[in-house]
Amino acid sequence: MSYPPARYLADQGEFSAVFRPATTPPDLTIGVKSRVGHLATGATTEGQFGLYRWDMAAIPNGPGAHFHKTFSESFFVLEGTVSLFDGDRWIDATPGDFLYVPPGGVHAFSNNSAAPASMLVLFTPGAPREAYFEELADIVASGRQLTPEEWTRLYAEHDQYEA
Protein backbone atom coordinates (compact mmCIF):
# COMPACT_ATOMS: atom_id res chain seq x y z
CA MET A 1 0.00 0.00 0.00
CA SER A 2 1.35 3.42 -0.89
CA TYR A 3 0.12 6.98 -0.78
CA PRO A 4 -2.13 7.98 -3.70
CA PRO A 5 -0.98 10.58 -6.24
CA ALA A 6 -0.85 14.14 -4.94
CA ARG A 7 -4.09 16.09 -5.34
CA TYR A 8 -2.73 19.36 -4.01
CA LEU A 9 0.30 20.60 -5.92
CA ALA A 10 1.15 24.02 -4.44
CA ASP A 11 4.26 24.48 -2.31
CA GLN A 12 2.36 26.23 0.51
CA GLY A 13 -0.71 25.03 2.37
CA GLU A 14 -4.01 26.90 2.24
CA PHE A 15 -6.71 27.80 4.75
CA SER A 16 -9.53 25.53 3.54
CA ALA A 17 -10.72 23.48 6.52
CA VAL A 18 -14.48 23.29 7.17
CA PHE A 19 -15.70 23.31 10.78
CA ARG A 20 -19.14 22.12 11.87
CA PRO A 21 -19.98 22.75 15.54
CA ALA A 22 -21.76 20.07 17.55
CA THR A 23 -24.62 22.54 18.11
CA THR A 24 -25.54 22.50 14.39
CA PRO A 25 -29.12 21.22 14.09
CA PRO A 26 -29.81 18.09 12.00
CA ASP A 27 -29.98 18.67 8.25
CA LEU A 28 -32.83 16.22 7.81
CA THR A 29 -35.53 14.55 9.88
CA ILE A 30 -37.08 11.32 8.63
CA GLY A 31 -40.46 11.03 10.32
CA VAL A 32 -40.11 10.60 14.08
CA LYS A 33 -37.51 7.87 13.77
CA SER A 34 -34.30 9.48 12.50
CA ARG A 35 -32.39 12.75 12.44
CA VAL A 36 -29.48 13.02 10.02
CA GLY A 37 -26.56 15.42 10.14
CA HIS A 38 -24.65 15.87 6.88
CA LEU A 39 -21.21 16.24 8.48
CA ALA A 40 -19.27 16.01 5.21
CA THR A 41 -21.02 15.28 1.93
CA GLY A 42 -19.41 13.87 -1.18
CA ALA A 43 -19.76 17.35 -2.70
CA THR A 44 -17.95 18.94 0.25
CA THR A 45 -15.08 16.40 0.10
CA GLU A 46 -14.77 16.43 -3.71
CA GLY A 47 -16.00 12.85 -3.86
CA GLN A 48 -13.54 11.45 -1.33
CA PHE A 49 -16.15 10.40 1.26
CA GLY A 50 -19.48 11.23 2.84
CA LEU A 51 -19.86 11.28 6.63
CA TYR A 52 -23.23 11.47 8.37
CA ARG A 53 -24.44 11.41 11.96
CA TRP A 54 -27.51 9.20 12.25
CA ASP A 55 -29.57 9.70 15.43
CA MET A 56 -32.33 7.14 15.93
CA ALA A 57 -35.35 7.31 18.21
CA ALA A 58 -36.17 4.40 20.53
CA ILE A 59 -38.32 2.88 17.78
CA PRO A 60 -37.25 -0.08 15.63
CA ASN A 61 -36.12 1.53 12.40
CA GLY A 62 -33.64 1.16 9.59
CA PRO A 63 -33.44 -0.39 6.13
CA GLY A 64 -33.80 -4.06 5.32
CA ALA A 65 -30.78 -6.09 4.21
CA HIS A 66 -29.22 -4.53 1.12
CA PHE A 67 -25.95 -3.87 -0.70
CA HIS A 68 -24.31 -1.18 -2.84
CA LYS A 69 -22.29 -1.66 -6.01
CA THR A 70 -20.28 1.58 -6.12
CA PHE A 71 -19.30 2.44 -2.56
CA SER A 72 -18.43 1.01 0.83
CA GLU A 73 -20.34 1.86 3.98
CA SER A 74 -19.00 1.96 7.53
CA PHE A 75 -20.77 2.35 10.86
CA PHE A 76 -19.34 3.63 14.15
CA VAL A 77 -21.65 3.57 17.16
CA LEU A 78 -21.56 6.74 19.29
CA GLU A 79 -24.39 6.21 21.78
CA GLY A 80 -26.87 3.50 22.71
CA THR A 81 -27.16 0.11 21.05
CA VAL A 82 -27.47 -0.23 17.28
CA SER A 83 -28.30 -3.59 15.75
CA LEU A 84 -25.94 -4.07 12.79
CA PHE A 85 -26.34 -6.87 10.23
CA ASP A 86 -23.04 -8.01 8.73
CA GLY A 87 -24.63 -10.18 6.06
CA ASP A 88 -24.49 -13.25 8.28
CA ARG A 89 -25.80 -12.24 11.70
CA TRP A 90 -27.21 -9.35 13.72
CA ILE A 91 -24.80 -7.81 16.22
CA ASP A 92 -25.91 -5.53 19.06
CA ALA A 93 -23.21 -2.89 18.68
CA THR A 94 -22.45 -0.42 21.47
CA PRO A 95 -20.37 2.79 21.68
CA GLY A 96 -17.00 2.32 20.05
CA ASP A 97 -18.06 -0.67 17.91
CA PHE A 98 -17.33 -0.40 14.18
CA LEU A 99 -18.54 -2.27 11.08
CA TYR A 100 -16.98 -1.91 7.61
CA VAL A 101 -18.98 -3.13 4.60
CA PRO A 102 -17.18 -3.24 1.21
CA PRO A 103 -19.05 -2.73 -2.07
CA GLY A 104 -21.34 -5.71 -2.59
CA GLY A 105 -21.44 -6.54 1.13
CA VAL A 106 -24.92 -7.30 2.46
CA HIS A 107 -25.78 -5.22 5.54
CA ALA A 108 -28.55 -3.48 7.48
CA PHE A 109 -29.03 -1.52 10.68
CA SER A 110 -31.81 -0.83 13.15
CA ASN A 111 -32.38 0.55 16.60
CA ASN A 112 -34.12 -2.37 18.29
CA SER A 113 -33.39 -1.17 21.80
CA ALA A 114 -35.75 0.76 24.05
CA ALA A 115 -33.44 3.80 24.05
CA PRO A 116 -32.23 6.36 21.50
CA ALA A 117 -29.04 5.51 19.63
CA SER A 118 -26.57 7.38 17.47
CA MET A 119 -23.89 6.41 14.98
CA LEU A 120 -21.62 7.80 12.30
CA VAL A 121 -22.12 6.46 8.77
CA LEU A 122 -19.23 6.79 6.30
CA PHE A 123 -19.58 6.27 2.53
CA THR A 124 -16.45 5.93 0.37
CA PRO A 125 -16.14 7.29 -2.17
CA GLY A 126 -18.52 10.13 -1.43
CA ALA A 127 -21.78 9.07 -3.07
CA PRO A 128 -24.60 11.66 -3.25
CA ARG A 129 -26.66 10.02 -0.49
CA GLU A 130 -28.40 13.25 0.56
CA ALA A 131 -30.89 12.99 -2.33
CA TYR A 132 -31.82 9.46 -1.27
CA PHE A 133 -32.25 10.46 2.39
CA GLU A 134 -34.33 13.50 1.38
CA GLU A 135 -36.60 11.37 -0.80
CA LEU A 136 -37.14 8.95 2.09
CA ALA A 137 -38.03 11.89 4.34
CA ASP A 138 -40.51 13.19 1.73
CA ILE A 139 -42.13 9.77 1.39
CA VAL A 140 -42.56 9.47 5.16
CA ALA A 141 -43.77 13.07 5.58
CA SER A 142 -46.36 12.75 2.81
CA GLY A 143 -47.57 9.30 3.84
CA ARG A 144 -47.12 8.20 0.25
CA GLN A 145 -47.22 4.44 -0.26
CA LEU A 146 -44.83 3.02 -2.85
CA THR A 147 -45.41 -0.21 -4.74
CA PRO A 148 -42.66 -2.85 -4.60
CA GLU A 149 -41.71 -1.84 -8.16
CA GLU A 150 -41.45 1.84 -7.15
CA TRP A 151 -39.23 0.93 -4.19
CA THR A 152 -37.00 -1.16 -6.47
CA ARG A 153 -36.71 1.75 -8.92
CA LEU A 154 -35.96 4.25 -6.13
CA TYR A 155 -33.32 1.99 -4.64
CA ALA A 156 -31.65 1.38 -8.01
CA GLU A 157 -31.47 5.14 -8.67
CA HIS A 158 -29.42 5.43 -5.48
CA ASP A 159 -27.24 2.30 -5.81
CA GLN A 160 -29.15 0.30 -3.23
CA TYR A 161 -30.22 -3.26 -3.94
CA GLU A 162 -32.31 -5.51 -1.72
CA ALA A 163 -30.55 -8.66 -0.59
pLDDT of residue 62: 85
For residue 101, CA distances in Å to 17, 66, 89, 108, 159 come to: 28, 11, 13, 10, 14
The pTM of the whole model exceeds 0.85: yes
**Per-residue pLDDT tens digits for 76-93:** 999 999 999 999 999 999
Domain positions in the chain = 28-162
CATH for 28-162, options being 3.30.70.1350, 2.60.120.10, 3.90.1280.10, 2.40.128.20? 2.60.120.10
**Per-residue pLDDT tens digits for 99-111:** 999 999 999 999 9
Q: Which residues pair with 101 in a beta bridge?
A: 73
* pLDDT bucket at 61, cuts 50 / 70 / 90: confident
- Count CA atoms within 13 Å of residue 121 on its CB side: 26
Considering the chain, what percentage of its residues have pLDDT values greater than 70?
Answer: 100
